[in-house]
Amino acid sequence: MKLWGGRFSKATEGLVDDFHSSISFDQRLYKQDIEGSVAHATMLGETGIIEKAEADKIVEGLKALLSEIENGEVAFMVDAEDIHMNVETLLIAKIGEAGKRLHTGRSRNDQVALDIRMYAKHACLETGALIKALCQTLLNISKEHLHTIMPGYTHLQKAQPITLAFHMMAYFQMFSRDLSRFSHAHDMADTMPLGSGALAGTTYPLDRPRVQALLGFSKLTDNALDGVSDRDFLLEYLSAASICMMHLSRFCEELILWNTNEFRFIEMDDGFATGSSIMPQKKNPDVAELIRGKTGRVYGDLMALLTAMKGLPLAYNKDMQEDKEAFFDARDTLVKALCVFTEMLKTVVFKKDSMEKGAALGFTNATDCADYLVKKGVAFRDAHKVVGSLVAYCLKEDKALLDLPLEKLKDFHPAFEEDVFNAIAVETCVNARRVVGGPAPDMVRQSIQNGEALLAQY
């Protein structure tokens, strides 16, 4: 008989037990469920809602049960539905009648909300730590490559010369925003709902602040109805996870491109690549491709929970059981992706010569050539037209701007002088961009220092 079965005249069908049960996935909440129950029982004994001796027996039994679960000595039961009922059933079997008093002043609705909030808080901290490690890796690469020149792109066409450090610090900015998002998601989860009951609180004189303190929450929920109905904190995590996976996917896309024979900007480590079953020359960037592919999976987890929640009246509905699989899957996917991506990035070999050669080709210095004329007194629109004509000529003759002699440059505009060759050298193009946020090494060095200060806050 189910613990809630007093009103029913027959057992649930076997098919219903299997369909209804969530123990296959929510068993990972065992620690949170037991820790929450220990705090609840402690409070019940301290307030005199149940006898202190019974509360102590419950706490002792729960701690013993936790040890047994962690030692692999417990088999969870499908017909006990979920981790919450499993723990209570196992506790009653272990300590007898006292175990039946654990649920005094509590509903599964606020119990579920408590457990998933505790797990979400940990997941946010765990994910944040992994993102911080990735950010530190980006800072390390940036310090090493302050002067490694490469082409910057728009529309996947060579645009202007930059440095590898500048490029890496762009990703640092993305992931630093992810750090902020997971910190916010943690704050959203850091509200203690136990005491909300099924939806309207309870008539027992619960000491909610005591439970809050025992469990380390910063706040109490202020409305019992919302306390059991809210899953916004999970949506915050899933949203942050989706954005973070998008950033990982963009990064992977570039690494995949850079690893091609056409770019030759990097060499992937053998430990993070695979081969072909038929083509012996192949070295495929499968890790990066798989992270890129798994991004859509996390997007799907976010959409699944948004869709499950969108039409639910207050308060708890069984639909909300669907929150956990989506959340757990997104957390697992993101954690694995961050771990493997960071280790992969540490082993990437950046080919400086190929990058610098790439920056020298494709007229990445054309904007600087136009700016040179502007500084000589030519209107920008006129300068833009002159350099556009120069580029067209170079394409026809298969030459770069720096290949042209001064006499030929003067054919296009008399303002060109000998100093143009220094002005449009790729090193000059990079070093001259000394605006805050620009690619000049001293500006990127300042950006790295700002990044280090930011990470120290987490």
Give me the pLDDT at residue 405, please: 96
| 249-255, long-range: CB < 8 A, 24+ apart | 249/291, 249/292, 249/295, 250/174, 251/171, 251/341, 252/285, 252/288, 252/289, 252/291, 252/292, 252/341, 253/288, 253/292, 255/285, 255/288, 255/345, 255/348
Q: How confident is the model at residue 9 (pLDDT cuts 50, 70, 90)?
A: low
Residue 249 predicted with pLDDT over 90: yes
Q: Which one of the listed residues 24, 67, 218, 276 is annotated catalytic?
A: 276
Q: Are 383 and 370 in contact (CB under 8 A)?
A: yes
Of 43, 270, 233, 254, the C-alpha closest to 122 is 233
How far are the Cα atoms of 18, 31, 214, 272 from residue 35, in angstroms, in the given order?
27, 6, 9, 39
Q: Does CATH number 1.10.275.10 belong to domain 12-104?
A: yes
Residue 94 predicted with pLDDT over 60: yes
Output the average pLDDT for the chain.
95
Give me the pLDDT at residue 416, please: 97
Buried b or exposed e, range 42-62, using 16+ CB within 10 angstroms: bbbbebebbeeebbebbbebb
- Give 328-374 pLDDT, tens digit per residue: 999 999 999 999 999 999 999 999 999 999 999 999 999 999 999 99
Helix axes 441-455, 108-144, angle to 10 degrees: 150
pTM of the model: 0.94
Q: Backbone phi, then psi, for 14, in 5-degree steps?
A: -60, -40
Buried b or exposed e, range 394-433, using 16+ CB within 10 angstroms: beeeeebbeebeeeebeebbebbeeebbebbbbebbbbeb
Q: Does CATH number 1.20.1250.20 belong to domain 109-351?
A: no
Q: How confident is the model at residue 20 (pLDDT cuts 50, 70, 90)?
A: low
**Is 184 one of the annotated active-site residues of the chain?**
no
Q: Which one of the listed residues 155, 196, 239, 389 is annotated catalytic?
A: 155
Give me the pLDDT at residue 8, please: 62
Mean pLDDT, to the nearest integer, of 385-398?
96
Cα separation, 455 vs 458, whole angstroms: 6
| 432-441, long-range: CB < 8 A, 24+ apart | 432/368, 438/166, 439/152, 439/161, 439/162, 439/163, 439/166, 441/146, 441/147, 441/163, 441/165
Mean pLDDT, to the nearest integer, of 83-105?
97
Residue 98 predicted with pLDDT over 60: yes
Q: Backbone phi, then psi, for 274, in 5-degree steps?
A: -135, 170
Q: Does CATH number 1.10.150.110 belong to domain 358-444?
A: no
Q: Are 41 and 62 in contact (CB under 8 A)?
A: yes
Tell me the domain boundaries of the chain: 12-104, 109-351, 358-444
Give CA 261 to chain center in angstroms. Answer: 31
Buried b or exposed e, range 275-286, using 16+ CB within 10 angstroms: eeeeeeeeeebe
**Is 276 one of the annotated active-site residues of the chain?**
yes
